[in-house]
Amino acid sequence: MAVKVLTNALVTINAIDLSTKSNSVTLNYELDSVEVTAFGDSGHKFTGGLQNNSVDVVFMQDFAASLVEATIFPLVGTTTTLVLRADAGVVSVTNPTYTITGAYLASHTPVAGSIGELMTTSLSFTGGTLVKTTA
């Protein structure tokens, strides 16, 4: 079985490629557990409900036009589209694209850090609908 070292991930927000400004990304794909236990069942039963996705991304802060701050700041309190891939290369069965539409960004910390440290901003997008494509 092949293993993957994450070195060239693709991270786009609203069609802006911010991959070179990111150094950490986590996509959580989840379906709500909806209980369907009925009278006579001897244990709980569940079925999948609505998607409950989240994406956590760490960006190296950049205030240049069309980069991190210019892209992120106006998104607070709104929904957006994220496109993620483990490798920025060609989409394939072994390199799928994950597109999340309607992901909500509740907050953003534009300035954070200590003296002599890299200034970063950590974002958490929640909700939206995830689609995985391999071609």
Half-sphere exposure of 65 (CA within 13 A, CB side): 0
State pLDDT tens for residues 75-109: 999 999 999 999 999 999 999 999 999 999 999 99
Distance CA 69, CA 60 (A): 10
Q: What is the pLDDT of residue 1?
A: 60
State pLDDT tens for residues 25-74: 999 999 999 999 999 999 999 999 999 999 999 999 999 988 999 999 99
Half-sphere exposure of 29 (CA within 13 A, CB side): 8
Show me where the domains of the chain are located: 10-35+46-133
Region of 60 on the Ramachandran plot (φ > 0 left; ψ -120 to 50 alpha; else beta) = beta
Exposed/middle/buried for residue 11 (C-beta within 10 Å: 0-12, 13-18, 19+) = buried
Torsion of CA 105, 111, 112, 113, to 10 degrees: 150
Specify the CATH architecture of the domain 10-35+46-133.
Beta Barrel (2.40)
